[in-house]
Structure 1
Amino acid sequence: MIFQKVGAATCEGWGFMLEWIRKEAVERPKVIGALMVLIGGIFVLSMGWWGFSASRSAKSDVIAKVNGVPIKVDDYSRDYLIMKDNYKRLLRGDLGAKILKDLNFPGLVLRNMIYRQLWIDEGRNLGIQVSDQTVVQEIARIPFFQEGTPPVFSKNAYVAFLKETHQTAESFEESVRMDVLVQRAQLFVRAAQTIGNPPPQPQGTPTTDANAERVRLQNETVEALQNQL
């Protein structure tokens, strides 16, 4: 503890999806940003606030596999119920009921789980690591765990939360670590893609030196960003 971690469908080879995400991150950052905010919010709730047990039976049914990582039925069912409840809170009245009816929730939930795992894999492939200190800082920022004026982290509030949600500190802290990993992977990919697509050079401008300089700047920026992560 830091302060005291439908039918079986195989979804291997999701590299093309990461390529799409990378492309969208540059061309339509607002769209991909909104998508990732949604995904992040859903998974903070599902894996954190509602508890995430890493001790589930190995015999659980598997809905899908993302690069060999299984998405299990019990995890999917939990996220489905939480996500639908969140939408019901946000979308009220006749219009909200119609939207909820038209949405393909089973596919939406599974897609969100796949996106998250893809970003986790991408972050690991990039060598991004999230230290225990960073996890501590992220948890300490959560208002739910703060008390007093000015608000400061309360260990008692944190421990009470873990008991109420029937989870271990390790499982919650690991979910926070993965959230940070996803955020950093998105930042890293967007920065690298943006640097790799500079404005077009005016006609008649020498390109050899410009290209060399662009590559140098790209390498330096990516290296600097990696060091900061």
Structure 2
Amino acid sequence: MSAPIMSVTNIGKQFGGLVALKDVTADFREGQITAIIGPNGAGKSTFFNILSGALKPSSGTLRFRGADMAGVPQHDYVHRGIARSYQITNIFPNLSVLENVRVAAQAFRSRMNIWADRSADRDSLDRASTMLASVGLSARAATPAKFLAHGQQRALEIAIALVADPALLLLDEPTAGMGPEETREMVALIEKLAAQRTILLVEHKMKMILGLSDRVLVLHHGQLLADGTPTEIQANSEVR
């Protein structure tokens, strides 16, 4: 069995008197697709935000590649090898598809310098072009992002995340709002990406989750209800 790329131990999160997460412990194995599921209010979004550094836990520890992530600012997560997409698509609608990814590549590689000629930054441009090819958007490179179909915008956001070459990619409801055909295309893309990196995702489409994931975590009322293979989760009477 592969070593865990990320581990959480007794993670808890409180918002005032509200306990959103309580004593969640789990290892995320390198090279696996792990899905986090549960009903509304189960704590999925809170847990996901802790894993990506958007929230700090009230208790417990988070380790990535053995290093304690306590005190690490969110913007440094991407430089350590953790990137994420968001439930609500987060792109620059009036920039071209290529420019969206190039901006991310420039931001990752260097600090902003208003005097630099960014058109001469061939490394960022080449990196952006490569990432667009990896998600199947090369033909739309010059198109303003707002004119992409919903599924293509989601793929563009993943391309933006990929410029950092993350070892761990967190996908927040990657098929939200998609029809059957777009969902199939996104599943194929996730399977392709999983050949080179570890993937964690939150999703509500159970058929997709059970067919795609190596492992499933089930949260309920902020606690870990079950952790196992899709077959084990399907057979778990408490989960059902």
TM over 0.5: no
Aligning the two structures, in what range does the TM-score lie when normalised by the shorter sequence? under 0.3
Larger proportion of strand? 2
Report the TM-score when normalising by structure 2: 0.22
- The answer to which structure has the higher helix fraction is 1
* Rg comparison, structure with higher value: 1
